[in-house]
Structure 1
Amino acid sequence: MYDLPYHKEPNEQIIKEFVNQYPFAFLMGCDSKNRPISTQVPIFMEEKDGRKTLTGHIMKNTDHHKAFLQNSNVLVVFNGKHTYVSGTWYSDPYTASTWNYMSVHARGSIRFLEGAALEDMLRKTSLHFEKNNTASTTIFDNLPKKFKQLVMNAIVAFEIDVQEIDNVFKLSQDRDAQSYHNIIDKLKEQDEDARIIAHEMEKRTKELFH
């Protein structure tokens, strides 16, 4: 990832909110032969005893499950909205175009959990995405016992001890005020993703241009 200080988000609370907002993340690693493996799954960030952990679940005996059993080092990438930024929107239009985006990377070591830990993970996941509607028929505790056992035999929960976390919130922070405001105006005329990026830029205006 780009390691430029002006494209970093220093506020840990904002990073935590970002991860919670975009939980469908890339879980990546390498198998014993150094072949890259990747899958996308919902992942939650938690803090336990002063340490950050990531939790989720995947299917058993897939290529990525086997790879993570062989090599526990993983990278998790949380991606937010992103959009094209035309160089013609800058105060100097003879400039290369670029892409604005937000991304959080977490590296750590994965371990797998079954039994009660798997039940807790499935309960948490279903409640979260059903917005804590305990009456929903798809909530883990409301599913038929036979079906739950069938599902649990096919999946495994995981917990990742986060050893390093980094981010890029590339939002034109390196541009002059005229370019910055013009980019915001132009993005507001684009699709929903672009408008969300414009909103993120607006929130940082006072901090960048006193």
Structure 2
Amino acid sequence: MLTANLNKETDWNKIEAFMREFSFALVVDTDENNVPQATHLPLVLKQKPDGQYVLQGHLAKANPQWHYFGKQDTLVIFSAPHAYISSSWYEKERIPTWNYMAVHVHGKTRILTDEELHQNLDELVTHYEAASKCPVTIADIDEKSYANNFKAIVGFEIEVRDINANYKLSANKKDKDYFNVIANLQEKGDENSVRIAAEMQCRRPQTEQ
């Protein structure tokens, strides 16, 4: 992912929070013919005792992508907020663009053991059920159903090695255009526009004139 220095996010705390919030990611590998294979999956970010961060998840055993794990690096793409930026919001410039935030992670992938996969599934369900009115747990699933489904999936772990965080948020604009973009995004009012406006506001707080 081409990332200008002006747009590169290097604060690990912000990157970590982003990956945890937008954890439904795109996992990409290449097959024996160097053809990209991709699957959309929820991932859990974990820190190992040695300090290494990893991403854990699982996919269907019927999905051939898992056969390519470990042969080359896996690419994981996290993205969510994005918004069209109209050139009419600028004082003079007439080139429109798109603001967005995305994080790419590269690393080697290995297959989880059964024990590790059991733990990952427990953590995954616990995490996503936390917001439910009546949370369920792995223990609530009957043994036969759990066993049948467990046999049909493959767990994996991707090391978080190379990180490229691209926060393209009008950082190259002068204050007048920058804050006019924020105002227009807020006026649009949709979820993505409001989120992008809020992120821009945090990065360049407007001071009283």
With the length of structure 1 as denominator, give the TM-score of the two structures: 0.91
Superposition RMSD in Å:
1.9
Q: How does 1:34-183 map to 2 (within 5 A)?
A: 34-48=34-48, 49-68=50-69, 71-93=71-93, 95-131=94-130, 136-137=135-136, 139-183=137-181
**1:115, CA displacement in angstroms?**
1.4
In 1: Cα distance, 2:160 partner to 2:39 partner? 18
What are the Cα deviations for residues 139-162 of structure 1, in whole angstroms up to 9, with x where unaligned? 212110111100100001111122
In 2: Cα distance, 1:159 partner to 1:134 partner? 30
Retained in 2: the 8 A contact 1:72–1:111?
Answer: no
Retained in 2: the 8 A contact 1:31–1:68?
Answer: no
Distance 1:117 1:7, change over 3 A: same
**1:2, CA displacement in angstroms?**
2.3
Gaps of 5+ in 2: none
Match of 2:185 in 1: 187
Retained in 2: the 8 A contact 1:113–1:157?
Answer: yes
In structure 1, the residue corresponding to 2:161 is in which secondary structure? strand
What are the Cα deviations for residues 158-188 of structure 1, in whole angstroms up to 9, with x where unaligned? 1112221111011101100000000000001
In 2: Cα distance, 1:73 partner to 1:61 partner? 21
Distance 1:134 1:127, change over 3 A: farther
In structure 1, the residue corresponding to 2:205 is in which secondary structure? helix
> What amino acid is the match of 1:113?
L
Q: Identity over the aligned pairs, expressed in percent?
A: 32
In 2: Cα distance, 1:103 partner to 1:129 partner? 22
Gaps of 5+ in 1: none
In 2: Cα distance, 1:132 partner to 1:158 partner? 25
What are the Cα deviations for residues 32-57 of structure 1, in whole angstroms up to 9, with x where unaligned? 11111000001122222121211111
In 1: Cα distance, 2:125 partner to 2:23 partner? 13
Retained in 2: the 8 A contact 1:127–1:134?
Answer: no
**1:135, CA displacement in angstroms?**
6.1
In structure 2, the residue corresponding to 1:34 is in which secondary structure? coil
